[in-house]
Chains A and B, each alone.
Chain A
Amino acid sequence: MGAVTFDEVTKKFGDVVAVDRFSVRIEDGEFMVLLGPSGCGKSTALRMIAGLEEVSGGILSIGERVVNNVAARDRDIAMVFQSYALYPHMTVAKNIESPLAANRKVRLPAAERATRVAEAAEILGLTDYLGRKPGELSGGQRQRVALARAIVRRPEVFLMDEPLSNLDAKLRTQTRLELVDLHRRLGTTFVYVTHDQVEAMTMADRIVVINEGRIQQVGAPQAVYESPANLFVATFIGSPPMNLISGKVSASAGGSVEVTTDAGTVTSTCSASLSKGADVVVGIRPEHLSLSETTSSGKGLRAKVENIELLGHERHVICSAAGSKIVFRQANDAAPVALGQEVTLDAEPDGTHLFDPTSTQRLN
């Protein structure tokens, strides 16, 4: 079936390692998003699944079949490209039919092809445009033609390379929902590459976070958000990003660790016991910080308000705390703070993450 398995898969371009020992199993029927900054290797990984790049090392399988040496056209996959890659000289119908007709040796009978094209066009609402050329369509329509060309193959795996990045913001939001809906209807594996964390969070069953050719973390969007595996994931996902402050462990006992930073002391829920005096990086998301009610407890982070961003439904308060920048969120109806005001911020222990400063890995 349409599971995709990377087993220590590596891709090198000359001396440059683009994909470094990827190991992950994308389950059949899953909507998997490969997320990372540009140049991180996510597109290369996708293109290896497609068969557009050869695998330099490791084993790549689709279903139970090792596809390292299987030609692209024989892999039972379909791909939607960033630029859509529609044939400008062919009509929409011909474009959609192309994967069924291109290879003369195995192509289906004309009647069967026509039925499938009509079906795919129907699903994507393109029936009225079948006679047009891509140049006569809007960006969103072109994008749907690209999708239709993919689904007409009825592949085991759909591959999508930043398919929404050429759409304007409004259309992108709408298409996101349509893609999720399409995935639900087809029940086929989707592998989707993007650098946009919002797309990843909203559409994915699971996310593979990638940086510098390596997998950083694999997990459901909420899990990745709530317990990032390392500092890269912690800062890459979430907007505004997680606040980071350096400190030392001052106490560790009974599932909780106390860390002293230059700005104050915070407590983190942590099952592991850390040696006292160890260096750690504390990470707290903006929504896990709140204005302290009692200023005298001696706990919390002391900070000075430097800027306030009003977003309508909430506020982002940007402070400086012992040289670090700290952002916290406030509901719109909360008592406003003033610029220059000294505040003390309490952190939720469950939302206080600890990372090893050298390995960058998560500690709790």
Chain B
Amino acid sequence: MATDKPITNPEFPGTDSAETASANAGTPTVESAQGKAVVASDLRPPKKSARHYLGLTGSYLLLTSLSVVILFPIYMLILRAVSSPLAYISAGQPLHPVDIQWDVFKVAFVDANLGRAMGLSFVVTMIIVTAQLVTATLAAYAFAFLEFPFKNVFFGLIVGTLLLPIEVTLIANVETIRRIGMLNSVQGLTLPFLATAVGIFLIRQGFLGIPSEIRDASNLDGYGHFRFMFKVALPMSKPIVGSFIVISFLGAWNQYVWPRFATDRQKWQTVQVALKTIGSENPERLNLSFAAAIVAALPLLVLLIFFQRQIVRGLTAGAVKG
């Protein structure tokens, strides 16, 4: 098991990369490097090294094999996207690309629906994220800073929406959208998501964290409600607001069920819905689907790299607070 105590290791030589450490599995190279590099190692109990490096190697082996398991499907996706479908199949479906065609991305964008689908997804996502931020901030402000009759009732109504996700209300909402003629429209794709209970809870939590003396001081300084909201409350809740924006983006971009049923024309498919249809008319064009999947995941990959902290905070908000 990988439960050994985290290793505090100033002695680990900075030159060793993860790969060499695992590749050289406890060989003298690693040990001599260690002996030379660090004076502090003299102070350590001498028996450590052998078992210690065995364990270290084990750790890297484990981490590497887990990485392979996780990355293998992604590797297969890329492989299948760039390989010519027919050549790949006749080659016996190997683990390496066959007859690489880089223009699959261009074909997907130009010939297939991918460009338009990506654009639509961006528009829909931006509208949803912006609207959710606005509506959630306003509602959270009311719950955090104002006293009003039936506050608990309204709060209960908002908690109640957690029991009514789009999956439950799907068919009724599709009927509503159909009746008001918004099937196949940006309005139809976004309207049900312009407000969010989770966002209200998160931002309210941020607002409640503002010390009461700051609120008193703002009151004396002469801030009105809206200026207080924008100049003090929101900036002071920046970490939570940032996390909310990121997870809101994640949710809006990744939606499948609603855009799938709020549209019945290919023209109005968001990228998630388009993934399958792009290649599905012809199994030989399935590489277009695979290419589209890569493209569809790219914005989130960028998000993951640049906003890792916000994502982690957003995803764990429910778990850690409890």
A189–B13 Cα distance when bound, in Å, is: 66
Is A73 engaged at the interface, CB distance under 8 Å to the other chain? Answer: yes
Within 43-95 of A, Cβ neighbours of B (below 8 Å) are at 47, 50-52, 72-73, 77-79, 81-85, 87-89
Is A99 engaged at the interface, CB distance under 8 Å to the other chain? Answer: yes
What number of B residues sit within 8 Å (CB to CB) of A?
A: 18
Indicate which residue in B211, B213, B222, B235 contacts A102 across the interface (CB closer than 8 Å): B222
Verify B216–A79 contact, CB threshold 8 A.
yes
Nearest CB in chain A to that of B232: its residue: A87
Verify B222–A73 contact, CB threshold 8 A.
yes
Verify B220–A87 contact, CB threshold 8 A.
no
Verify A79–B220 contact, CB threshold 8 A.
yes
Q: For A52, list chain B residues within 8 Å (CB).
A: 216, 219-220
Q: For A88, list chain B residues within 8 Å (CB).
A: 236
Q: A81-B216, A82-B213, A104-B227 are in contact. Are A99 and B222 (CB under 8 A)?
A: yes
Verify B222–A85 contact, CB threshold 8 A.
no
Verify B217–A85 contact, CB threshold 8 A.
yes
Is A359 engaged at the interface, CB distance under 8 Å to the other chain? Answer: no
A77–B213 Cα distance when bound, in Å, is: 16
Is A103 engaged at the interface, CB distance under 8 Å to the other chain? Answer: yes
Is A344 engaged at the interface, CB distance under 8 Å to the other chain? Answer: no
A82–B212 Cα distance when bound, in Å, is: 11
Indicate which residue in B217, B224, B227 contacts A79 across the interface (CB closer than 8 Å): B217
Nearest CB in chain A to that of B234: its residue: A89
Verify A102–B221 contact, CB threshold 8 A.
yes
A82–B216 Cα distance when bound, in Å, is: 12
Verify B220–A83 contact, CB threshold 8 A.
no
Nearest CB in chain A to that of B235: its residue: A89
Q: For A103, list chain B residues within 8 Å (CB).
A: 221-224, 227
A135–B27 Cα distance when bound, in Å, is: 49
How many A-B contacts are there with CB distance less than 8 Å? 58
A77–B214 Cα distance when bound, in Å, is: 16
Contact with A along B218-241 (1 / 0, CB 8 A): 111111100100011001101000
Verify A85–B236 contact, CB threshold 8 A.
no
Q: For A79, list chain B residues within 8 Å (CB).
A: 216-217, 220
Verify A89–B222 contact, CB threshold 8 A.
no
Verify B213–A81 contact, CB threshold 8 A.
yes
Q: For A50, list chain B residues within 8 Å (CB).
A: 216, 220
Verify A99–B219 contact, CB threshold 8 A.
no
Query: Would you give the shortest CB distance from B56 to chain A, in whole angstroms?
Result: 39
Q: For A87, list chain B residues within 8 Å (CB).
A: 214, 217, 232, 235-236
Query: Would you give the shortest CB distance from B239 to chain A, in whole angstroms?
Result: 11
Nearest CB in chain A to that of B224: its residue: A103
Q: For B213, list chain A residues within 8 Å (CB).
A: 81-85
Indicate which residue in A73, A84, A104 contacts B220 across the interface (CB closer than 8 Å): A73
Verify A99–B232 contact, CB threshold 8 A.
no
Verify B211–A83 contact, CB threshold 8 A.
yes
A85–B217 Cα distance when bound, in Å, is: 6
Query: Would you give the shortest CB distance from B210 to chain A, in whole angstroms?
Result: 10
A99–B218 Cα distance when bound, in Å, is: 8
Is A98 engaged at the interface, CB distance under 8 Å to the other chain? Answer: yes
A72–B217 Cα distance when bound, in Å, is: 10
Of the A-B pairs whose beta carbons lie under 8 Å apart in the complex, a sample of 11, sorted by A's number, is A47-B216, A50-B216, A77-B220, A79-B217, A81-B217, A83-B213, A84-B213, A85-B213, A87-B214, A87-B235, A102-B222
Contacts A78-B220, A85-B213, A149-B217 known; list 9 others, CB within 8 Å.
A52-B219, A72-B219, A72-B220, A73-B221, A87-B217, A87-B232, A89-B236, A99-B222, A103-B223
* Residues of B participating in the A interface, judged by any CB pair closer than 8 Å: 211, 213-214, 216-224, 227, 231-232, 235-236, 238
